């Protein structure tokens, strides 16, 4: 139990002053601007937006600067900021099939309509430190090639054309969509709430859970059907106008995982699916999300639930790094009264134990008193 304490105002103010000083670092080195973070640490910005659950590149960049690069702290700042703004409403669901694709790969089909486009990827790099970057060498213009204007169908739609993959639950525009920012999470959660929870969940936590399914803790035999990254339009219905308008474009990463097939006496066998989607370029996160989404569907496919990644309550209750850090880090706050009670109780136990074992002559004097 945490009991409130008073006092320490001057020390706290000075500590925050010292934090600001240390954040700045050596003043002989130029100060970072949020614009530099936004443009040059863009993957960190994307992670803060995805797990902060707020698409705003400038805000995420500023939060990273304020948090000294502590991304969970930055996510916390973004989450706190969003509570200060009114909500105008809900956007029309994003159409990822209409994405302006900058990266699109499939591990299931070598040749697919629309092609495999590597885009700006760390894949196939040698992971050697590039000392030329330290010297600030100018970057040459990227190569260009004639673009294919054909629409790139989702790989899952190609498999779906042969009816060899389960269909997604149908979209009903009038059906309510669960929102865990408004209503507390209850179990069992629908897939809508699970996907919302996973979309804002901690990348490291979901990565570890996804990895655990690959190692046998809730195995789902995944293939990356497709990963695509690029720009999609955000559309919003304006009541006063009576029609939907575009608010602009955002970058998202989508992962379609194709998993272990399932059939029954009445249904032919079909591949099953796991789905991942996040803000910006967040491939590892989208893949991990898709693995965990599929693992959490164990009951739907009558799979025995025995691994952590299949346990909805365990996964959804511990995926949020702001909640996690809040409860873990609160242990740092003064627990003096609580601990004093434990000390008193323990002394009493030990006194009784000592008295029973060897008699009163062995009881130590209490040095602290």
Partner 1 sequence: MDKHHPHAPPRAAIIGTLARAETSELREAVHAHWPGLQWREAKPAEAGLVMLRGRTGGDGAAFNLGEATVARAVIDLETGERGHGQCLGRDMEKARLAAVFDALWQRETDRDAVERHVIAPVRARIARQGANDAARAAATRVNFFTLVRGED
293 or 303: CB nearest partner 1: 293
Beta bridge partners of 238: 243
Provide the minimum distance between the beta carbon of 87 and partner 1 in the complex, in angstroms, as a whole number.
5
Return the closest-CA partner of residue 50 out of 265, 262, 282: 282
**Which of 67, 193 has the CB closer to partner 1?**
193
Q: Residue 269 CB, nearest distance to partner 1 (Å)?
A: 18
Least separation, in Å, of the C-beta of 240 and partner 1? 7
CB of 17 to partner 1, least distance (A): 28
Half-sphere exposure of 243 (CA within 13 A, CB side): 2
Two tokens at 233? 């339009």
- Nearest approach in angstroms of CB 215 to partner 1 is 25
CB of 281 to partner 1, least distance (A): 13
Neighbours of 168 (CB within 10 A): 11
Beta bridge pairs of residue 237: 244
* Residue 1, CA atoms < 13 Å, CB-side half-sphere: 7
Of 67 and 75, which has the nearer Cβ to partner 1?
75
**Closest to 323 in 3D by CA, of 222, 202, 177, 196:** 202
Report in angstroms how near the CB of residue 162 gets to partner 1 at its nearest.
17
Residue 75 or residue 309: which is nearer to partner 1 going by CB?
Answer: 75
The least CB distance from residue 172 to partner 1, in Å, is 7
- 80 or 358: whose CB is closer to partner 1? 80
Q: How far apart are CA 102 and CA 142, in angstroms?
A: 13
- Secondary structure letter of residue 104 according to DSSP: E
**Complex with partner 1: residue 9 or 141, whichever CB lies closer:** 141
| Cβ distance to partner 1 smaller for residue 79 or 284 | 79
Residue 185's CB: how many other CB atoms inside 10 A? 16
> Which is closer to partner 1, CB of 131 or CB of 187?
187
CA distance 135 to 289: 37
Give the position of tokens 């599929």: 294
Q: How far apart are CA 350 and CA 348, in angstroms?
A: 5
Question: Cis ω on the peptide bond leading into residue 219 (within 30° of 0)?
Answer: no
Closest CB to partner 1 among 218 and 276?
A: 276
Q: What is the CA radius of gyration of the chain?
A: 26
In the complex, what is the shortest distance from the CB of residue 310 to partner 1, in angstroms, rounded to a whole number?
A: 18
In angstroms, the Cα distances linking 280 to 94, 269, 340, 346 are 14, 35, 49, 53
Nearest to 210 by CA among 315, 75, 72: 315
């Amino acid at each position: 139990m945490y009991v409130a304490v008073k006092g320490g105002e001057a020390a706290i103010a000075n500590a925050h002053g010292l934090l600001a000083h240390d954040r700045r670092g050596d003043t002989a080195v130029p100060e970072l601007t949020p614009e530099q973070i936004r443009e040059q640490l863009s993957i960190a910005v994307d992670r803060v937006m995805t797990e902060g659950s707020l698409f705003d590149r400038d805000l995420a960049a500023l939060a990273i600067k304020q948090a000294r690069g502590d991304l969970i702290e930055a996510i916390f700042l973004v989450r706190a900021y969003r509570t200060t703004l009114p909500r105008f409403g809900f956007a029309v669901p994003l159409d990822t099939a209409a994405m302006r694709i900058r990266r699109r790969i499939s591990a299931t089909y070598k040749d697919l309509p629309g092609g495999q486009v590597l885009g700006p990827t760390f894949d196939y790099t040698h992971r050697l430190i590039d000392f030329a970057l330290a010297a600030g060498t100018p970057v040459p213009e990227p190569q260009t090639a004639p673009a294919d204007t054909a629409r790139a169908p989702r790989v899952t739609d190609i498999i779906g054309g042969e009816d060899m993959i389960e269909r997604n639950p149908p979209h009903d525009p009038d059906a309510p969509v669960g929102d865990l920012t408004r209503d507390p999470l209850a179990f069992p959660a629908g897939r809508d709430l699970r996907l919302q929870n996973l979309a804002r969940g901690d990348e490291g936590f979901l990565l570890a859970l996804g990895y655990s399914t690959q190692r046998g803790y809730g195995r789902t035999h995944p293939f990356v059907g497709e990963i695509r990254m690029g720009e999609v339009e955000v559309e919003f219905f304006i009541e006063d106008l009576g029609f939907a308008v575009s608010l602009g474009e955002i970058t998202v990463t989508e992962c379609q995982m194709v998993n272990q097939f399932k059939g029954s006496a009445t249904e032919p066998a079909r591949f099953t699916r796991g789905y991942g989607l996040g803000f910006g370029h967040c491939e590892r996160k989208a893949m991990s999300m898709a693995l965990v989404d599929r693992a959490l569907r164990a009951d739907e496919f009558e799979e025995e639930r025995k691994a952590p990644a299949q346990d909805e309550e365990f996964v959804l209750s511990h995926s949020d790094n702001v909640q996690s850090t809040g409860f873990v880090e609160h242990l740092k706050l003064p627990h003096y009264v609580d601990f004093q009670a434990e000390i008193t109780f323990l002394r009493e136990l030990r006194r009784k134990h000592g008295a029973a074992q060897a008699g009163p002559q062995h009881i130590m004097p209490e040095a602290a008193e």
